Amino acid sequence: MSYELVRNIPKDHPRYESLMIREKLVNGFKAGIVCAEGLIAHGRGEAFDYLIGEKTIEPAIVATKAAVAMMLTAKHPVISVNGNTAALVPDELGCLSERIGAPLEVNLFHRTEDRVDKIIHHLKAHGAKDVLGKRADAHIPGISHERGKVSKEGIYSADVVFVPLEDGDRCEALGNMGKKTIAIDLNPLSRTAQAASVTIVDNVVRAIPNMTKLVDETKVLPGSELKRICTSYDNKAMLEEVIRRIKMI
Ligand code: PTJ
């Protein structure tokens, strides 16, 4: 899905980028990748994006650095993919997965086998190599909804799970399993944002390319420095800083 394929929105429209993001999601919905609820979730995210100025703010940069360090020091990091992220950043997900050495796993809240197949196909068409998630042969304890269905070799056995656009209870349940979680969520007040080990309060369309850009310069740092970045990171303080900035508007 490329910008060329979407409806004719002139590039000089003041809200061009935002309208293009909507178009990608609507196209994703029509293609059976995004669920109807995903469009509602996007509206919520859009409102918060407006409040942070539709740009990457300083606390998000700090969180992004911690997220990359955490994934690079993990033994088995996994990237969880839902319908919205697959529609918005399919190339970027494949690229991050390869650069960090973390497999992608399709994991859906509104799971149907048809959507899982379509998302896997879509990610592969955009360059992703292996995509887990079709075989959900394990279960996250304490999660009774569809997001509890995971792959044994993927999310179930991961030590760090990257969960862009998550729902909070699974984030909490993964934490209860002793895993570290990294979320991207434009809403700093959401249960996900509060429950994750690292929360990047930014739009996935900016945050995932930012993570990829940071991989090379972070990879060359000594192990002790990577560890320091992870242990000195304070997610609660970072979220408070985001909320403080929003209040200042
Ligand atoms: O594809 P599925 O079946 O797994 O379903 C995906 C949705 C998104 C419907 C599901 O995960 C869901 O219901 O999510 P929630 O609980 O509505 O949470 C979505 C969160 O993502 C909200 O806090 C939004 O503010 C945030 N959000 C929405 N769009 C973006 C975003 N955060 C970052 N970037 C975005 N583009």
Confirm or reject: Cβ of 204 under 6 Å from ligand 1.
Answer: yes
Instruction: Over range 40-48, report the average pLDDT.
Output: 96
What six digits make up the tokens of 37? 């609820």
Q: Check whether 152 has a pLDDT greater than 80.
A: yes
204 CA → ligand 1 middle, Å: 10
Bridge partner list, 160: 77, 180
Residue with CA at minimum distance from ligand 1 atom 6: 38
What is the structure's pLDDT at 249?
78
Cα–ligand 1 centroid distance for 42 (angstroms) = 6
CA of 149 to the centre of ligand 1 (A): 18
What pLDDT does residue 7 have?
63
Q: Whose CA is nearest to atom 31 of ligand 1?
A: 45
Place of tokens 């992608």: 104
pLDDT at 1 over 50: no
Q: What is the pLDDT of residues 196-247, one digit of tens each?
A: 999 999 999 999 999 999 999 999 999 999 999 999 999 999 999 999 999 9
Residue 170 has pLDDT above 60, yes or no: yes
* Gap between the Cα atoms of 224 and 229, Å rounded: 9
Convert the pLDDT of each residue in 109-119 to its tens digit. Answer: 999 999 999 99
Q: Is 193 in the pocket of ligand 1 (CB under 6 A)?
A: no
Pick the atom of ligand 1 nearest to 47's CA.
25
Domain 58-247, what fold? Rossmann fold (3.40.50)
| Angle between helices 16-30 and 36-51 in degrees, nearest 10 | 170
Q: Where are the domains of the chain?
A: 58-247
Whole-model pTM: value is 0.95
Residues linked to residue 183 through DSSP beta bridges, in sequence order? 163, 199
Strand pairing category for 160-164 and 149-150: unpaired
The per-residue pLDDT for range 65-122, each reduced to its tens digit, is 999 999 999 999 999 999 999 999 999 999 999 999 999 999 999 999 999 999 999 9
Minimum CA distance residue for ligand 1 atom 35: 203
Mutate to test the pocket of ligand 1, among 84, 106, 184, 190 (most ligand atoms within 8 A of CB): 84
User: Is the CB of 60 within 6 Å of ligand 1?
Assistant: no
Q: Give the C-alpha distances (Å, rounded to integers) separating 21 from 17, 24, 104, 133.
A: 6, 5, 22, 25
Please name the residue that has the structure tokens 């179930």.
156
CA 70 to chain centroid: 15
